Amino acid sequence: MSRRRKKTQRKHGLPPGTLVFTGDRHTDVPDIVLVQYTESDTFMQSAREMAPPAREMAGVVWYDVRGLHHVPLIEQLGRQFGVHTLALEDVLDIQQRAKFEDYEDAVFIIAPALTFDEATLEVQHEQIGIYAGKDFVLSFQEKPDDTFASVRDRILHGNGRIRKRGADYLVYALLDTIVDHYYLVLDKLEELIDNQEHQVLTAPDESTKRSIHHLKLQVLALRKTVFPLREAVNAFSRSDNPMVQDSTRLFIRDIYDHTIQIMDAIDTWRDVLNGIFDLYLSQLSFRMNNVMQVLTIISTIFIPLTFLAGVYGMNFQNMPELGWRYGYYAVWGLMLLIALLLLHLFRKKRWL
Amino acid sequence: MSRRRKKTQRKHGLPPGTLVFTGDRHTDVPDIVLVQYTESDTFMQSAREMAPPAREMAGVVWYDVRGLHHVPLIEQLGRQFGVHTLALEDVLDIQQRAKFEDYEDAVFIIAPALTFDEATLEVQHEQIGIYAGKDFVLSFQEKPDDTFASVRDRILHGNGRIRKRGADYLVYALLDTIVDHYYLVLDKLEELIDNQEHQVLTAPDESTKRSIHHLKLQVLALRKTVFPLREAVNAFSRSDNPMVQDSTRLFIRDIYDHTIQIMDAIDTWRDVLNGIFDLYLSQLSFRMNNVMQVLTIISTIFIPLTFLAGVYGMNFQNMPELGWRYGYYAVWGLMLLIALLLLHLFRKKRWL
Amino acid sequence: MSRRRKKTQRKHGLPPGTLVFTGDRHTDVPDIVLVQYTESDTFMQSAREMAPPAREMAGVVWYDVRGLHHVPLIEQLGRQFGVHTLALEDVLDIQQRAKFEDYEDAVFIIAPALTFDEATLEVQHEQIGIYAGKDFVLSFQEKPDDTFASVRDRILHGNGRIRKRGADYLVYALLDTIVDHYYLVLDKLEELIDNQEHQVLTAPDESTKRSIHHLKLQVLALRKTVFPLREAVNAFSRSDNPMVQDSTRLFIRDIYDHTIQIMDAIDTWRDVLNGIFDLYLSQLSFRMNNVMQVLTIISTIFIPLTFLAGVYGMNFQNMPELGWRYGYYAVWGLMLLIALLLLHLFRKKRWL
Amino acid sequence: MSRRRKKTQRKHGLPPGTLVFTGDRHTDVPDIVLVQYTESDTFMQSAREMAPPAREMAGVVWYDVRGLHHVPLIEQLGRQFGVHTLALEDVLDIQQRAKFEDYEDAVFIIAPALTFDEATLEVQHEQIGIYAGKDFVLSFQEKPDDTFASVRDRILHGNGRIRKRGADYLVYALLDTIVDHYYLVLDKLEELIDNQEHQVLTAPDESTKRSIHHLKLQVLALRKTVFPLREAVNAFSRSDNPMVQDSTRLFIRDIYDHTIQIMDAIDTWRDVLNGIFDLYLSQLSFRMNNVMQVLTIISTIFIPLTFLAGVYGMNFQNMPELGWRYGYYAVWGLMLLIALLLLHLFRKKRWL
Amino acid sequence: MSRRRKKTQRKHGLPPGTLVFTGDRHTDVPDIVLVQYTESDTFMQSAREMAPPAREMAGVVWYDVRGLHHVPLIEQLGRQFGVHTLALEDVLDIQQRAKFEDYEDAVFIIAPALTFDEATLEVQHEQIGIYAGKDFVLSFQEKPDDTFASVRDRILHGNGRIRKRGADYLVYALLDTIVDHYYLVLDKLEELIDNQEHQVLTAPDESTKRSIHHLKLQVLALRKTVFPLREAVNAFSRSDNPMVQDSTRLFIRDIYDHTIQIMDAIDTWRDVLNGIFDLYLSQLSFRMNNVMQVLTIISTIFIPLTFLAGVYGMNFQNMPELGWRYGYYAVWGLMLLIALLLLHLFRKKRWL
């Protein structure tokens, strides 16, 4: 929850339209990979710092930028493909929610990629911006990991239908890759929730409530991320932008179904986590009840007996019982009787 | 909640459009039953592994496949009836939510069938995919049990209106069979909820909270399943696909009413289960109160008396009371008086 | 919550379209009352088992059937007035939610009538089906009580506008009678809720939580019943079916307003009952606090005193205080001082 | 919550369309004030029991009726201005929700006026019905207080724009007066909520939970009243009834904004009151913790000491320590040591 | 929550349309700054009390008024630019929700500016009204701080695109400045929430619950403010008012995205704060459990031992054990045995 703060520190007060990268530097120089392909041909070139020029050929041009802190690079690509300033600003401002914007003959999508950090047990976001026209796709990744390697491989090796279709299908493939990664995060979270549930049912301890709270925060953060993505994918699938072909729409619809399924899972987990927390609280109550019962049983049995011992410990000169021959044994008998009676009572009350 | 994990393990990283079965093998070889019928005539043939060829005759052709792990079979049927690849993928991916898709002259429905496992007290899902055109119906079942036996019997024996109507009515009959099974699951759950309520009211114990939590999870899972089914059936009933006749629409509407009724029941149960859990917690509180009262009453009575006994157990040389003739009896009297006073006080406070 | 179970036991597995009564027999033979009327003329005849033939006359024909287990009777009326099979099925299946269906020149309404059973303190449902065309109304009641006596009287005595208007107004009058009965049930429930609130505020005991839970269940059940009725009445008021005249629409709108008002009341009660339960829990907490305070005050005062008495009850040979002349009195003084100090402390902490 | 009951007692069983006043008599004879005005001229006459005839003059005629139990008066006005029977019924039935009805060339509004009863701390409702056409306004008030005195004054003294505009503006002015009074009630409630919050934070006692519960009920009742009013005012502002001029619509929109603001406040208070109740419960828990800590500290310190004293109070003949010269002082020292150790432990656990 | 009250005190009873300032005087005399600009030229003049006349020149005229208690000034500007009376009233009534109104050739926006008061830890509102036509903008600020200094600087220095565009872009720039300040408030609140969470997890104390409650109130208040602003900005972005150019609409859409993001954050915080409060309560329960366990362990061990000591402190003449040579040591041994047994039991129950 601490990334927001940086935004205002760096950007507050600047006129809108100024291009400023609001994230952390994750790499020294950005990596740029250029891929061009037709159904029969492919070309690939990678560079650092500035984008390599595209070759003169038909088909789709795809620039994949990893690392956003080098603003001139973004401006160069923006000028080259006529990207709207507001879209460039959004690409650089890593605080954006997922969104879909229709430009005249291009579409612009912001989609967060998720990974799960096993060390902190936190969901990590990476903002990915995709700007695509009829024959080009620009993808801007905040961090240097090669998220789209599998898509590039499919293009280069000609797997699946990707080379037979246009830029819109490439956008679909990129989004599909992003959403596919969500399932890995979901699996991790599901595993943690299952473990938590098991722990609450078997051995809840002081750290349990923090872990549940932590999981709740992760699920809340996930919800905040996925909900706008669902809307964005829906808008994309319904867009009448000329760059989206009807045959691709069905595929985008398929991603939409996935985002709905993910939202379903998240909403269910919210309820499940609330249920686990309630369970934890009732576990505490139950345990308290047990502790109190033990205290009450022990106290209730020995307090009268101790009183009796106290009575015969008094030093009155005239206490006839003290002189009785079997007085001591009689008292022991009386004490035993009282104890047995009380035990019987507790059993009847089902405290034992 | 563990089935999802398998998906990502098996399918993650493959290009979209690859046909992979994501479920468990429930049988060695899939069973395929071919039924063909007109109003006056029927033909049935069953096979394993590959689909038998349909006879040359008018009327409706219905292939019912049980077991989905044999991908070539699915591909064969898909090619034969021109099924869209995405639909075939959905048939094989058993993680799908219920959905309805309109293809040009065919409809595709995913609907989960439910059973209740008496051993684990868990609701079990089986994914069923139905792809139907003007004169054919393909049904794909994940598991080998013969869910649609009753529909087949009605066709073969000519019961009801089924043979007089087209493929759309057969789809209705299949969906109706699926939804009818839901009521059996609902009855089971209702019985369990009623039992749970009774147990909370009479003898809540340590396992109670787990049982309620377990029931909550079942109801949540059920909700997650039925909600998209309701939407799918609604979309089906409103579809203007040429394969759906107006006279059948009323029947589909009837299934829609059932799904609404089921959702109503589920939503009510959610509230009921929350109410039962609150009741359970208040039961714990009430019991704690009782335990504390017993402890307090016993302690409050005997603590002063024990103190008094302690006083006259002191060994001071100059303690005139010790020499009094009836000192001992006077102390007993005083103790009795104190005890009676305190008992009176507790009765006034309604603790007794 | 036990009526549903019967449905599946009796109807599960039968082909759709089979007429089966799914309720309990509330009477031996069904009562049928035939009423015919024009503005100037009325005719009434009652029968058992089979419907009497209607007289040849203009105006409205109304068959009121009480008791649904005699299926041939229902079939006879269905054939005579051309009722759709699905409507007949719904009439006989007493598990239906309220609904409104538009048939070509007729409307079909399912509306539950409510009564409050003073013995079990439970809301009882009776399903009433109304099928009406331009000049006839069929009403099917599950139970034998004469719910619509007042409407019949108004027709026979010519009270109000009922005889001046058509079949649509009669349907309105029947629905209005049903909804009017809801207010009686609401009054009863409101009284019970008020009593419960009073009891929680004055003398909550062990049974309180069960009573609140019971009321919650009643309110939930009521909500489940009234919500679809509101939708059905709304649909009726907006229906462009030729049998509904514009002048009647305003009256139906009036029933719609009543159902909204009833839903408002129910939703408010839900919140009120949750508030009462919270109050009850806080009452328990408060009481526990009081009990604990008494225990703590008594213990905290006497435990140090008893310790002191114990010290001077020790048998050391060399304990100079024991030989002091006023040692005993000094100890009493010390004890008094300690007690007063502690009492003062408790008063400062506002525990007394 | 007791006003509803009367309705059913008085009206249940009567045919719809019968005019019956369902409220309490708040006055002996109703007051009727007739006001007529054009931009330049005004005329006013007041009467009791029956409405005085209007003068022959252009402009707007306004009958303001206070007290509704005299049914013939209502019928007289209804006939004179052609009011629909259902509207008259609604005027007399004081259980109505706020509503707006479009009649052919007239509008009908039910709006509850609110006052705050300082004695019972309850929100009081008065139902006000307004029926208005192109050149007349009828206002029907349940109670005798002169709610609309300020509007009448503005007309008679020609303040503001009221005399320059038509009947629709007068309706606006009446509604504005009603809604203005809401703010007084809101202020009172806000003050009570602020006081309650302060009390919970400083000195919560047994009555606190009842007061919070009482405030919750008031806010719920308020919500139930204002919500339909908002809808009614919205419908009024969008109505295309010929009696509503476009220039007035903006003013009605202004009232609509007020009702939204009021709903906002109410919804916020609901959350605030829930928060206060949670605070109260946590206050109880915290206090309980404190009480328990005191008990535990005192008990834990003295119980071992008392045990030690008990040991040396035993009467064994062979107990060497008893004969030691400084045995008694050694025991005191040991006791002091134990007490200090335990105090140190408690300080480390932050219990002190 | 105390500002509302003033409204009714000052304004209640006045006819609608009377201009009254309902806020506090924050300054003696209002400041007015006039800025005029075209793409190439700018002119600026500031005054107090009355607005300076605008120069004869093309381009945009912007009057920025700071301090609203001088009603004649508002009336002067209102007459000069033909502002609707209701808009002027809204400008002066500082209780307004954010709203957007379309006038024939002008738009009117109410937007609250927020600051965070570090002393009281409360969110402070300042109401800002903006009324703008094709070539003029009037901005009315409640308080004297120069909120729009940065916008004025951008105009005077020609930074960004502001001078190249019309009055609609200036309105956008003003709104953007207002919404930008929200992020500062959000950052502060986020920091407080993070601190609170940390405190609950490490060292919850008596003040914790008040702080959480206070934060909840701030978030509720924020929500009440931002929600209508989001609607207003949305309406502005969709307005077809002639003064809004299409090219500006995209920018307004950008503010809309920000308001959505802010609402997302607020809604998440609500859940987070509820989670923190639950955590706090469970922390209390857990601590209570610990306290009770310590009490129970100590009591349960020493109560039987003290009883035993009491027994051998009795003064019966015939108590053989007292004469045994090693009786005293045997009792010590027995006591040690009992203590060890109980400790072992507690370890098995995981209480130690």
- Asked if pLDDT for residue C16 goes beyond 80, the answer is no
- Chain A residue at shortest CA distance from B310: A310
Is the distance from CB of D133 to CB of D106 less than 8 angstroms? yes
- Chain E residue at shortest CA distance from A218: E272
Structure tokens at E195: 């601190």
* Minimal CA separation from D220 to chain C, in Å: 7
Euclidean distance between CA atoms E90 and E68, whole angstroms: 11
Strands E122-132 and E136-141: antiparallel
Q: Write the residue in C186, C282, C303 that is nearest to D209 by C-beta.
A: C282
Mind listing the pLDDT tens digit for each residue in D149-197? 999 999 998 877 888 889 999 999 999 999 999 998 998 999 999 999 9
- Asked if pLDDT for residue E15 goes beyond 70, the answer is no
Answer whether B316 sits within 8 Å of C328, measured CB to CB: yes
Beta bridge partners of A62: A35, A137
Sheet of A99-103: strand order equals A42-48, A31-37, A60-66, A136-141, A122-133, A106-117, A99-103
| pLDDT reported for residue D10 | 42
Domains (ranges, CATH) in chain B? 3-282 (3.30.460.20), 286-348 (1.20.58.340)
Structure tokens at B266: 């589920």
Strands B122-133 and C136-141: unpaired
Say what percent of chain D tops pLDDT 70.
94
Size of interface D-E (CB pairs under 8 A): 152
DSSP code for E15: P
Strands D42-48 and A60-66: unpaired
Q: Tokens 């100090």 sit at which residue?
A: C341
Structure tokens at E322: 């007292």
Is the distance from CB of B139 to CB of B68 less than 8 angstroms? no
Chain B CB contacts of A260 under 8 Å are 97, 228
Answer whether B316 sits within 8 Å of C315, measured CB to CB: no
Q: Write the residue in A8, A209, A327 that is nearest to E316 by C-beta.
A: A327
| pLDDT reported for residue C174 | 95
Mind listing the pLDDT tens digit for each residue in A241-274? 999 998 899 889 989 989 998 998 999 999 999 9
Three-class DSSP category at E92? helix
Answer whether D314 sits within 8 Å of E331, measured CB to CB: yes
Answer whether C318 sits within 8 Å of D326, measured CB to CB: yes
Q: Write the residue in D15, D216, D314 that is nearest to C160 by C-beta.
A: D15
Cα atoms in the 13 Å half-sphere on the side-chain side of E49: 0
* Minimal CA separation from A209 to chain E, in Å: 7
Cα atoms in the 13 Å half-sphere on the side-chain side of B303: 25
Mean pLDDT lowest for which of B122-126, C20-24, C175-179? C20-24
Size of interface A-B (CB pairs under 8 A): 149
Mind listing the pLDDT tens digit for each residue in E206-253? 788 889 999 999 999 899 899 999 999 999 998 889 999 988 998 899
- Chain B residue at shortest CA distance from C4: B187
- Asked if pLDDT for residue B30 goes beyond 60, the answer is yes
Is the distance from CB of E168 to CB of E243 less than 8 angstroms? yes
* Minimal CA separation from D131 to chain C, in Å: 16
Q: Write the residue in C257, C279, C304 that is nearest to D302 by C-beta.
A: C304
Structure tokens at A250: 């069905």
Euclidean distance between CA atoms C94 and A246, whole angstroms: 47
pLDDT band at residue D84 under the 50/70/90 scheme: confident
Is the distance from CB of A261 to CB of B3 less than 8 angstroms? no
- Chain E residue at shortest CA distance from D255: E16
Q: Write the residue in B206, B220, B277 that is nearest to A271 by C-beta.
A: B220
Q: Which helix (H) or strand (E) holds A113?
A: strand A106-117
Radius of gyration of chain A (CA): 34
Euclidean distance between CA atoms B225 and B233, whole angstroms: 13
Three-class DSSP category at C250? helix
Mind listing the pLDDT tens digit for each residue in E127-184? 999 999 999 999 999 888 888 998 999 999 887 788 888 999 999 999 999 999 999 8
pLDDT band at residue D17 under the 50/70/90 scheme: low
Q: Write the residue in B190, B261, B316 that is nearest to C312 by C-beta.
A: B316
| pLDDT reported for residue C212 | 92
Euclidean distance between CA atoms A28 and A144, whole angstroms: 10
Answer whether D286 sits within 8 Å of E206, measured CB to CB: yes
* Minimal CA separation from A291 to chain B, in Å: 10
Mean pLDDT of D11-33: 73
**What dihedral do alpha carbons C287, C288, C294, C300 form, nearest 10°?**
-160
- Asked if pLDDT for residue A38 goes beyond 80, the answer is yes
Q: How far is CA B310 from the centre of its chain?
A: 64
Answer whether E318 sits within 8 Å of A327, measured CB to CB: yes
Chain E CB contacts of D272 under 8 Å are 217, 220
Mean pLDDT lowest for which of A20-29, B214-223, D163-172, D337-346? A20-29
Q: What distances in angstroms separate CA B334 from CA B309, B330, D83, E81, one per listed residue?
A: 11, 6, 85, 95
Chain A CB contacts of B310 under 8 Å are 310
Is the distance from CB of D277 to CB of C280 less than 8 angstroms? no
Total residue length of chain D? 352
Q: What distances in angstroms separate CA B93 from CA B21, B98, B132, one per listed residue?
A: 6, 12, 19
Is the distance from CB of A153 to CB of A33 less than 8 angstroms? no
Is the distance from CB of C177 to CB of C145 less than 8 angstroms? no
Closest-CA residue to A89 (of A18, A138, A13): A18
Interface with A, mutate which of B5, B125, B331 (most A CBs under 10 A)? B5
Beta bridge partners of A131: A108, A138
Q: Write the residue in E224, E291, E312 that is nearest to D315 by C-beta.
A: E312
Answer whether C160 sits within 8 Å of D16, measured CB to CB: yes
Hey, which of B22-31, C157-166, E256-265 has the most confident mean pLDDT?
E256-265
| pLDDT reported for residue C352 | 73
Q: Write the residue in B150, B161, B279 that is nearest to C17 by C-beta.
A: B161
Closest-CA residue to B274 (of B200, B184, B185): B200
Mind listing the pLDDT tens digit for each residue in E305-323? 999 999 999 999 888 889 8
Interface with E, mutate which of D246, D262, D307 (most E CBs under 10 A)? D307
Chain B CB contacts of C331 under 8 Å are 314, 316
| pLDDT reported for residue E7 | 43
D221-224 contacts at long range (C-beta below 8 A, 24 or more positions apart): D221/C268, D221/D1, D221/D123, D222/D114, D222/D123, D222/D185, D222/D189, D222/D266, D223/D263, D223/D266, D223/D267, D223/D270, D224/C264, D224/C268
- Chain A residue at shortest CA distance from E188: A5
- Chain A residue at shortest CA distance from E183: A8
Closest-CA residue to E135 (of E81, E89, E93): E81
> Between D123 and C29, whose confidence is greater?
D123
Chain E CB contacts of A292 under 8 Å are 292, 296
Answer whether E289 sits within 8 Å of A292, measured CB to CB: no
> Between B262 and D285, whose confidence is greater?
B262
- Chain A residue at shortest CA distance from B205: A286
Answer whether C316 sits within 8 Å of D328, measured CB to CB: yes
Mind listing the pLDDT tens digit for each residue in A273-301? 999 998 998 888 888 888 888 888 888 89
> Between E28 and B81, whose confidence is greater?
B81
Q: Which chains touch A (3 or more CB pairs under 8 A)?
A: B, E
Mean pLDDT of C97-107: 89
- pTM, to two decimals: 0.82
Euclidean distance between CA atoms C74 and C66, whole angstroms: 11
Burial class (CB in 10 A: 0-12, 13-18, 19+), B201: middle
